[in-house]
Structures are given as C-alpha cells and as structure tokens.
Amino acid sequence: MYRLKDFDAFCQVAQKAIEGKQLLPHEEMYFNGFMNKAQVTQKSLQGLFQRQNIDAHSFVTKNTVRRIQKLYLNNQDVFEYYQIDGGSEADVLDLISRTLYWIRRMKTYKANVLAQQK
C-alpha cells in the first residue's frame, strides 16, 4: 500500500522535474534522492528531519514496480480487507503503468543531466 503512494509521488515529481516546473522543497529532496544527490540543506535538527524524509521514501525501480504488481495481482482484495475506498484494479494497474513510463523518462533525463555535467 505504501509503495503505491511512493509510486504516485515519484510520477508527480518526475513529471514536474522533466517539464521544468518549480519543485517544492520536499519534492526537490525526493528528486535529489532519485538522482543520487541526496542533500540536507541544514545542519540542525530540521536537517535531520529532512534526511529522514529522504530515507523514508522507497527508491522506485522497475523491479520494485514489477514485484508490487505481482503482489497486487495475487492479493486484489487488499483495499477491501483494509476497508479503503477506491483502489480499483484499473486504478492500480494504471498507476503501475504510469510509474514504469516515468522510470524510463527519468533514466533518460538523468543520463542527459550527467552528460551535460561532463
């Protein structure tokens, strides 16, 4: 369930970053984490909280998405079991598809950024 939320956050941040839109501070930390440049902006208790926030998000990979897809397909009653409204099969499979799409886009984006830095 939490991974699905991470997938949604990943898609939103990836889309904003690739489209050149301004990222909010927490989105920028998440984006930097994906780009392997996790940074803490403050050397303080707040900086510790920022670092924890970065670490709390799972790193979204194609393998992770595939594992969650398989898990969901074997346990489609998870939303009903936890009494969560929504969460239809179509919604979950659409999110998985969008996540795989944005993973591909981010890999290309990351490669281009790294090439420009050389």
Are 42 and 50 a contacting pair, CB within 8 Å?
yes
Residue 83 has pLDDT above 80, yes or no: no
Lowest mean pLDDT among 19-28, 29-38, 66-75: 29-38
Nearest of 101, 112, 113 to residue 11 by alpha carbon: 101
Task: Kindly give, in sequence order, each residue whose CB lies less than 8 Å from that of residue 82, ignoring residues fewer than 6 positions away.
Answer: 1
C-alpha 115/C-alpha 19 separation (Å) is 19
- Of the two residues 106 and 87, the one the predictor is more confident about is 106
C-alpha 98/C-alpha 111 separation (Å) is 20
C-alpha 62/C-alpha 1 separation (Å) is 17
Provide the 3-class DSSP secondary structure of residue 77.
coil
Which pLDDT score is estimated for 101?
96
Which pLDDT score is estimated for 77?
82
* Half-sphere exposure for 14 (CA within 13 Å, toward CB): 23
Residues 38-50: what's their mean pLDDT?
51
- Of the two residues 111 and 50, the one the predictor is more confident about is 111
Are 96 and 69 a contacting pair, CB within 8 Å?
yes
